[in-house]
Chains A and B, each alone.
Chain A
Amino acid sequence: MKRSLGFTVTLGALAALVGGCADLDQSRSLGNPKVPPEVTARQVCADCHGVEGNPTSPEFPRLAGQQKDYLIAQLKKLRARVRSDPAAQSYMWGMAHNLTDAQIKGLAEYFSQQVPTHSPITDPVRYARGKQIFDKGIPAEQTPPCMACHGPNAKGHGVFPRLASQQASYIVRQLEVFQKNEGRPGTPMTQVTHRMSHQNMLDVAAYLSALPATEGSSR
């Protein structure tokens, strides 16, 4: 028992010793303001969003090429827990909670400078309907054209996010969040999506996810 206790104490001392030699270039800490944003992007964010902001899973949004100001605004809202849609609470509140303004700015710069990939066109008819919605809106549902705010190529501007090449499932989920008023206040999107049908959400998401980066790069 004494030897076991001795081993545990030795292990603890060793851990404390190594603890003084934290490697900021490889750190996965979210509580250390000294960790460079690019390290956090590659060591933490990349696990879900991909090292260049292009995730494998459609569960997570594509950050590559996103508008820097939009990313800064969203990370600050997540940090302050002002943005409170279910996915934000489950995944991002904790990630953003201890980020400094400088880290947020650095993360936004890193991901905005990456090149987004896009999805293939799997249903040309749906793609065409989605483009019609994006360009012309849906008068019957009092939905204005998306391009009015997000730009003709859906690349966004400032705090208006880039939508081109975004994951279709993420777009649909966020449109539903806006429509149900589930925790993203302070945007015109609640009103925009008020009468929007699920079918039209799927169509416009299919179009935007397949819109290539060359058409909508923010750089």
Chain B
Amino acid sequence: MSTPSSRLESALLGSFIVVPAVLVVALALLMPRNSGAVPAYARQTGQNCVACHAGGQFPELTPYGRLFKLTGYTIGKRTIPLSVMAVADYTHTRNTNSPDPHADFPKNNSGTFHVASIFLAGKIIDNLGIFGQWTYDFYDHQNNNGQWVGHFLADNFDLRYADHLTNPQRDWIFGVSLNNNPTVEDPWNNTPAWGYPYQTSSFAVMPSAAPLIAGGLAQSVAGLTGYAYWDRTVYAAVGAYKTADNALSFLSLGVQNPDLTKLDSPMPYWRVAFTHDWGPNSFEAGTFGLSAQVYPDSLNPHGPTSHYRDIGVDAQYEYLLNPHTITAQLTYINEKVNWANSLVADGSVSNSSDTLNSFNLKGTYVYDAKYGVDLDLFNVSGSSDAALYPGTQLDDNGNPVPIPVTGSVNNNPGARGWIAEVFWKPIQYVRLGVLVLQPLQRRHKQLRRRRTQCL
């Protein structure tokens, strides 16, 4: 979460090259009788993954996959809507210089089976469908004895009602989504909930100073998002979110109360996108954002709040013609935060307001839905804040010393680098990949553990 304390944690990467090798296996609990497709939606439609996912790589959607999602996951014949996913990885971090590398870089140069998910996904009735994911992280945290402890928690959730009015003169899709993460309802892959990287190691050093909309509210909030898609040209969505507590606490299952973002009032979310398909090409350009009033102390949600204003612009291009798949996604998010007075007063932040900018550009080529390569460029920048991004701490003698791994070099959240990945899908529901992350700029370094949010 992008509260001051977590922003302190959510800094950037240092001079590391991280090479996580990731294996993703998605299996059905029940094999279909006649279809080669396995996960729940494939079983429902009888189609292979490549019908909905660009080049067969999840979660990137084809134009048809977007329509499948926007019409509420309801195409096909209702079936048992269960699937499971397992993720195993091996992580190597090249530079592990720190006073305690064993603690700062756990599981380095070792393989782990770190995440398993169960999906409740599919058509419920003609106009109602669901995507629900719950994840068990085998390496959630370490106990006092240093042993890893697993944790089961809610992941992305999207229950939606949709309708489609179509004839030669008009094409209207409209619906409403109950979800637990702003942008989960979105069908493009440049908004944060379904953006790149799609899968990483839990133990990789990742840039993690991120705007609130980029995961900071995931599984902490619950909201209704209404949307409409006109003539496959204009998409618009408006949502309102509140803290996922009380009757909606099933959407934040496993998130402990201190980690639950507490919103003061219903948080507005909005999204507009323009799309155009021609030949094998599909293009989208849009904007999205939110305005949130967040209590600085989750355990005492009263009094003044911090105000987050996030605005993003995005674009996506796809070329889909067998055997070639080319996709590109561009995302830029600007965030301005006016901190609650109490945070300034107690020294949690140095400034009364801060800004954060996040830029991401990713390209992918996939051949024959089997062999693929991704290249991603990222850049995070923002205002310096000595309290929010500290670089030093006091040692036992009261002398300032650099904070290892997590310390900022110049009290700035900035980071720049690239991610490259090659992957192979020997069969449609197994993905083997090697991902390399290379920082280009060192301002702040931080080890952050990521949760998987991948179908």
Contact = CB atoms under 8 A, between A and B. Distances in A.
B46 interface: yes
Interface residues of A, number: 42
Contact of A28 (B42, B51, B63, B164): B164
Interface in A51-86: 51-52, 56-59, 81
Interface in A1-27: 1, 3-4, 6-8, 11, 15, 18-19, 22-23, 26-27
Interface string B227-262: 000000000000000000011111000000000000
Contacts of A91: 47-48, 51
For chain B, which range describes its interface: under 10, 10 to 19, 20 to 34, or 35 or more residues? 35 or more
Given A42-B167, A43-B166, A15 B125 contact: yes
B438 to A, nearest CB: 35
Given A26-B164, A51-B167, A58 B46 contact: no
Contact of A94 (B47, B125, B249): B47
B422 interface: no
Contacts of A30: 45-46, 75-77
B277 to A, nearest CB: 5
A207 B46 CA distance: 34
A47 interface: yes
Contacts of B166: 42-43, 46, 51
Given A30-B75, A47-B75, A95-B45, A3 B247 contact: yes
A1 B249 contact: yes
Contacts of B250: 4, 7-8
Interface stretch (B66-74, B329-337, B356-364): B66-74
B128 A18 contact: yes
A57 B127 contact: no
Interface stretch (B30-38, B87-95, B304-312): B30-38
B246 A3 contact: yes
A90 interface: yes
Contacts of B126: 19, 22-23, 26-29
A7 B321 contact: no
B248 A7 contact: yes
B259 to A, nearest CB: 17
Nearest to A89: B36
* Most chain B CB neighbours (cut-off 10 Å) among A6, A7, A52: A7
B386 interface: no
Contacts of B77: 29-31, 98
Nearest to A50: B168
Given A26-B164, A46-B166, A81 B68 contact: no
